[in-house]
Structure 1
Amino acid sequence: MAPKISALGIVALLSLRVQAQCSSGSDSRVVDLSWHAPNKTNINDLSQVVNGTGIYGFIFNTSITPATSGYRTYNWCNMPHVRRQEYVVPPKEYKLEYVELIHRHHKRTPYASNTFPHETYAWYCDDEALFYYGTPNPDGHAAQVNWQVYTSDSNPLAPEGFNGTCQFPQITAGGLNDSRQHGKDLFGVYHDLLGFLPAKYDADKIRYRVTNNVITSQVAGQIVLGQYADQFTDKPVSVAIQPDSVDSLEPGYTCTNASKTFSSYGVGSKAANWTLHLNESTALFSKLDSVSGVNTSDPDWHNWFDHYFDSLSARLCHDKPLPCQADNSSNCVTQTDADAVFRRGQYEYSFIYRDSPQSLAASTASYGIWMAELASNLRAATNATNKSPVRYRHNVAHDGSMSRLLSILQVDVMVWPGMGSEVVFELYSRDGCYFLRVLWGGQVLRSSNPSLGLMDLIPVQTFLDYVDGLVGVKAAKVPGLCKGE
């Protein structure tokens, strides 16, 4: 007499059979785990970087991309993201099952370490308030405490960087408005257009996550408001956060081997293919140093263009003038100088995260845990017998997060991820099989890796095999990768 199989067992067997069918044929080929070079463009062409002019039509001076430029245009102040006007709905036989997205925070003041020793004008943030307070449970009450920056005439020490009423960094009022619109745009697609997100917030279905850097929480407050204003105007909402020392999103966990690898070919290294662009930029550094007053031997300002890039771009995004020398108002950073800095910054990020053959290994080790979490979330959404109720995860992160992610995905054209830059993972089902679409800046991402290619409804198992091959299931390989084993 044949053994009886429970209804749950039948579902499991059918699920395994469907998975086998979905994995059969061309989808079962071995996934390529090797590094593949990005496209050759002006961004990573050193001759164009050093001798060129302008900045490839990129925008650095407004959050509003002009209609004449087209929404897909790179806008450092407010990068393109998923919104209804450009969104392409997949064929009707595909059903959206799960969405996970990650984006950089929106525009902010520069970090204090990226301001000049003596700034010639102040920066005021009186058009916003940043709240910091706690509430005991279950009482749940508190005065809404917000910080007001001031300086005392009894304090003889000058603050680092700008005078005024801002924190360095903090998300500016403009950045908060951009964040809210970002949330509205996403809701306009995933609720209004697709009917995927519920009309009312449901904590069992929707999760938000931030890093330990408070600027991501400042953004999250506006993202949530943009999506669920009726429920959360001046009301609390919980967001997930991992302990700083093991945070996979920022990332915050220690990965010694990844740091060594990055520094062996990138910032601070003596590698010829890194120092070449710095050696070709001595005149530019000399001009910038004469204006800023930065010590010409300060490595943080001269091992790469990160500090000057942040300092200049933050001003332009907030309609502030390019700086002049404190004691010589005729010696100023020109737009030509700023463009030269921006070209070099783009070149550096392309080199660090894509052009160097070592970039994939360094990014995999230092961002592998978040990739493994993403893979686990996708698996949970495809589990026929124990499917996760969560259908939408929203991660607010940083440029270092986005750069490593794009490095692992091996995006075909690498740029420095600007403010609000976004990658979306959409999981679809069709006839019992699952497919993944990846959107970068609202458009389908193209990978240089032949196994991934144009990531437009590829079998999700291909992506899972790729992630598992690099970092292991549940990031089992990452501890060894970080130790150099």
Structure 2
Amino acid sequence: MIKITSSLLALVLALSAHAASVDTLYPNISDPSVIENPPYDSMMHGSKHESRTGPSDGSYNYCSMPHPSVSYYKEPQPVANGTVNANLSALLYIQRHQKRTAYNLFPYGENEHYDCTDSEPFLYLGATNSSSPKPLPVYAATYVDDQNPLYETLTESTCQFPQLTVGGFLDGVQHGQELYELYGKKHHVIPSEPSAQTVWLRSSTASLTQGSAGGVLRGLWPHYNKPLPLHQQIDSIDSHEPPCDYNDALLSASQSTKVWEKHLEVTKTLRKELADMLFTNNSDWNSNFDHYNDNFQARLCNGYKLPCAQSGSDKCVTEEQARQVFVAGDWEYNYYWVDRENVTEAIQLTSGLYIKDMLKQLQDVESGKSTLKYMHHFMHDGDIGPLAGSLGIRSLRWPGMASNIAIELWKTENHETYVRALYSGSTLQSRHGDMEWMPFDKFVQLWSKYVPHDFVAQCAQS
């Protein structure tokens, strides 16, 4: 007879909870019928100042996605079970920014007063490399002038759209603190102080990713007060979202399939109900669920209510309607980056140049050409989606706020390098192979399939 001790019970419960949390990341959502009968609760909630008060348990949480954390992190199985003696030697970490206000506001205004008076988005202009003069730190204080005849058609707000919220900043600080506990104190790839020899940081040119970096890096290094370079590429040719006209043709083809038409038919009633209520009866809002998701997500994650009718009636979007909107958004993301027939070429022309950049970083680190140990990229959901697809993710819900991909390099005592890829804190469940412990060369070969052979020629197709 096995005696169940309290410690054993705690372990069983923890493992059960973690298994359940992993299931929330990989539901079967290939068939559009899931939108009408969601197989999971897609409703989201967050507060104005923080999405959560403790470490994530690994469950999907759009407002604050899980990330590698000592609370549930497990070393790769061959290391954990003693089959292999290896140490973590380097980390490439790509994350979406933390939570924000909406991109998409209703055409005839918002009934919610977005308040950002507790936020001070700092702007640093005109700094020099020399010791002086240094710019005076200034921040953007958004206000509403009621003499402006246009303000009522937007929203009486003290926020920019989009803008990282205070809750997003604070969640970023916690994100950084937890990363340091794991990858700094335990595995020693994040140094106690950043240096150009060991740390490399990159962001898009958007203020959202830069602001998120400010929060996460403060969590990593709470007492560091020197400036840090956050590398960016020129906006018009940035490899994380390079201009490519042929992408429009690929998208159009993907939206002309029977399964896409089925998803529109399944959501026909929902889209009409929302359009009638919110005066959104135009193609930008009704061709897909991007705008509705964005608007509803930003409201609920920052402590605001779902929208009400533009006509002034007391009719509001219900939680059931919102649930269907969120599952429809999940279905679309999964379709775009996992299921559609032209997904490989779509990923090549969306993120292939970015993948090429990251492969070069990893190869230089693995060969010893580079001394970097920690590379952190601050990007967008439009980056996380195709990157997860390129790694063969089995199922992809909409990459939530601060969703992340971690590429760990492990060095064995025989000087062999292995890769472990994580998605939002857990080993990525891939159709391409075992992402728990993959030889470095095999990983490079696999990921290289998504690097375009001739980007310019592919994008010039008619």
Tell whether the structures are fold-level matches, with TM greater than 0.5. yes
* C-alpha displacement of 1:159: 5.7
8 A contact 1:65–1:75 mirrored in 2: no
8 A contact 2:101–2:165 mirrored in 1: yes
Tell me the TM-score normalised to structure 2 length.
0.87
Of 143, 148, 155 in structure 2, the residue corresponding to residue 162 of structure 1 is: 155
* C-alpha displacement of 1:140: 4.8
Of 19, 29, 37 in structure 2, the residue corresponding to residue 43 of structure 1 is: 29
Other-structure match for 1:223:
216
- Uncovered stretches (5+) of structure 2, i.e. residues with no partner: 1-24
Of 254, 259, 262 in structure 2, the residue corresponding to residue 265 of structure 1 is: 254
Map 1:338-357 to 2 at 5 A.
338-357=322-341
One-letter amino acid matched to 2:260: W
8 A contact 1:363–1:404 mirrored in 2: yes
One-letter amino acid matched to 1:106: Q
Alpha-carbon distance in structure 2 between the residues aligned to 1:342 and 1:290: 19
Other-structure match for 1:131:
122
Report whether the alignment pairs 1:372 with 2:349: no
Tell me the TM-score normalised to structure 1 length.
0.83
Other-structure match for 1:191:
184
Of 410, 422, 434 in structure 2, the residue corresponding to residue 439 of structure 1 is: 422
Other-structure match for 2:313:
329
SS where residue 64 of structure 2 aligns? coil
Other-structure match for 1:34:
none
Kindly tell me: are residues 104 and 466 of structure 1, through their superposed partners in 2, closer, same or farther at Cα, counting changes over 3 Å? same
Kindly tell me: are residues 70 and 197 of structure 1, through their superposed partners in 2, closer, same or farther at Cα, counting changes over 3 Å? closer
* Worse-superposed segment, 158-167 or 183-192: 158-167
- For each residue in 1:193-252, what CA deviation from the matched residue of structure 2 results, as whole angstroms up to 9, or x when unmatched? 1122221221221111110111100101111111111113xx532210000112123x1x
- For each residue in 1:142-161, what CA deviation from the matched residue of structure 2 results, as whole angstroms up to 9, or x when unmatched? 11111111222332222653
Report whether the alignment pairs 1:74 with 2:57: no
One-letter amino acid matched to 2:250: T
Other-structure match for 1:477:
454
Kindly tell me: are residues 460 and 477 of structure 1, through their superposed partners in 2, closer, same or farther at Cα, counting changes over 3 Å? farther
8 A contact 2:97–2:208 mirrored in 1: yes
Map 1:171-190 to 2 at 5 A.
171-190=164-183
8 A contact 2:189–2:374 mirrored in 1: no
Of 376, 389, 393 in structure 2, the residue corresponding to residue 394 of structure 1 is: 376
SS where residue 275 of structure 1 aligns? helix
Kindly tell me: are residues 308 and 469 of structure 1, through their superposed partners in 2, closer, same or farther at Cα, counting changes over 3 Å? closer
Name the larger-Rg structure: 1
- For each residue in 1:153-206, what CA deviation from the matched residue of structure 2 results, as whole angstroms up to 9, or x when unmatched? 332222653211000000000000111111111111111111222212212211
- For each residue in 1:9-60, what CA deviation from the matched residue of structure 2 results, as whole angstroms up to 9, or x when unmatched? xxxxxxxxxxxxxxxxxxxxxxxxxxxxxx994422222222x15x613451
One-letter amino acid matched to 2:63: C
Other-structure match for 2:3:
none
8 A contact 1:78–1:106 mirrored in 2: yes
Of 84, 91, 96 in structure 2, the residue corresponding to residue 99 of structure 1 is: 91
Kindly tell me: are residues 58 and 456 of structure 1, through their superposed partners in 2, closer, same or farther at Cα, counting changes over 3 Å? same
Cα root mean square deviation, aligned: 2.2
Alpha-carbon distance in structure 2 between the residues aligned to 1:454 and 1:441: 17
Report whether the alignment pairs 1:277 with 2:277: no
Kindly tell me: are residues 137 and 377 of structure 1, through their superposed partners in 2, closer, same or farther at Cα, counting changes over 3 Å? closer
Report whether the alignment pairs 1:292 with 2:274: no
8 A contact 1:444–1:454 mirrored in 2: no
* C-alpha displacement of 1:299: 0.8
Other-structure match for 2:73:
87
Alpha-carbon distance in structure 2 between the residues aligned to 1:141 and 1:231: 18
Alpha-carbon distance in structure 1 between the residues aligned to 2:416 and 2:461: 37
* C-alpha displacement of 1:65: 5.9
Alpha-carbon distance in structure 2 between the residues aligned to 1:65 and 1:142: 35
SS where residue 168 of structure 2 aligns? helix
Report whether the alignment pairs 1:419 with 2:401: yes
Identity percentage of aligned residues: 29
* C-alpha displacement of 1:256: 2.2
